[in-house]
Homo-oligomer: A and B are copies of this chain.
């Protein structure tokens, strides 16, 4: 089952030749979710060959321009290119008004439905769910209302071995219990352990997007055991004071969150335009958390299942 993150932009507020403003697409079981949509995102989709009509929902972290200014253009292009399918948009409460006023004043009619969901920046919230996955919003601390997002697979069922079904002549109700990971008792009094007759499914995978935010260690408990963490790393430790003043984080602080959260991998992004060499972020993060990587436009990160023990 696919679980990938595709980076379209990982720069910060001012434009550079190196990076585009924030945007990425999460492919979770072949459902496409866009997270943030900075200016130029629709062109980045074209450049990297992502068919944006397949996106079923867009999650906006906050209303700073480098995180949402590509949204109106994308919505408009979706319409011009024939979209009929509903699009869900999650984000700050003011986002709905912002989108509607832009569409209204530019006399833009959309031939498909927009469904808005206002997030809450005070607590972790389940905001979307289907039979294979769940999406949570995460409370971030920035200068304005801001939420991160956590994408989680649901636990897949245990697979009951065919030989066991035949040997014990298992009934559907018994198989169902085993699939859930429960042991069962036979009429004979014998206990059949799930672990003896089933193949254990891999642990559900999780991806967390945390941008923009000041360093907040309490975030780690909300994303414990995450397979991949994208955490903003706007500054280096040399600009730690400025990071705090502007409610951003340093590479070192991002690595600390990854460590506290027992993350498997860390993807650093949202690099300030003041730095010319992204490798400096990695140099700062790796002594604290060695599975750190740098985001870059066009990068696709695959989130693998962890080996079952």
Contact = CB atoms under 8 A, between A and B. Distances in A.
Interface of A: 13-17, 20-21, 39-40, 42-43, 45-47, 63-66, 68-70, 72-73, 76-77, 80-81, 94, 97-98, 101-102, 105-108, 143-144
B39 A17 contact: no
Contacts of A14: 77, 80-81
29 contacts: A13-B76, A13-B77, A13-B80, A15-B45, A15-B73, A15-B77, A16-B46, A20-B43, A21-B73, A39-B40, A39-B42, A39-B70, A39-B73, A40-B43, A63-B106, A64-B106, A64-B108, A65-B72, A65-B76, A65-B106, A65-B108, A66-B73, A68-B106, A69-B69, A69-B73, A97-B105, A98-B106, A102-B102, A107-B143
A270 to B, nearest CB: 14
A286 to B, nearest CB: 30
B69 A65 contact: no
Contacts of A68: 106
A1 to B, nearest CB: 31
Q: How many chain copies does the complex carry?
A: 2
A164 B101 CA distance: 65
Contacts of A40: 39-40, 43
Contacts of A65: 72-73, 76, 106, 108
Nearest to A52: B15
Contacts of A15: 42-43, 45-46, 73, 77
B46 A17 contact: yes
A101 B102 CA distance: 9
A141 to B, nearest CB: 15
A67 to B, nearest CB: 9
B43 A105 contact: no
A105 to B, nearest CB: 5
Nearest to A98: B105
| Most chain B CB within a 10 A radius of its CB, from A15, A43, A72, A143 | A15
Contacts of A72: 65, 69
A102 B80 CA distance: 23
A232 B102 CA distance: 24
A247 to B, nearest CB: 12
B63 A107 contact: yes
A102 to B, nearest CB: 7
A123 to B, nearest CB: 22
Contacts of A98: 101-102, 105-106
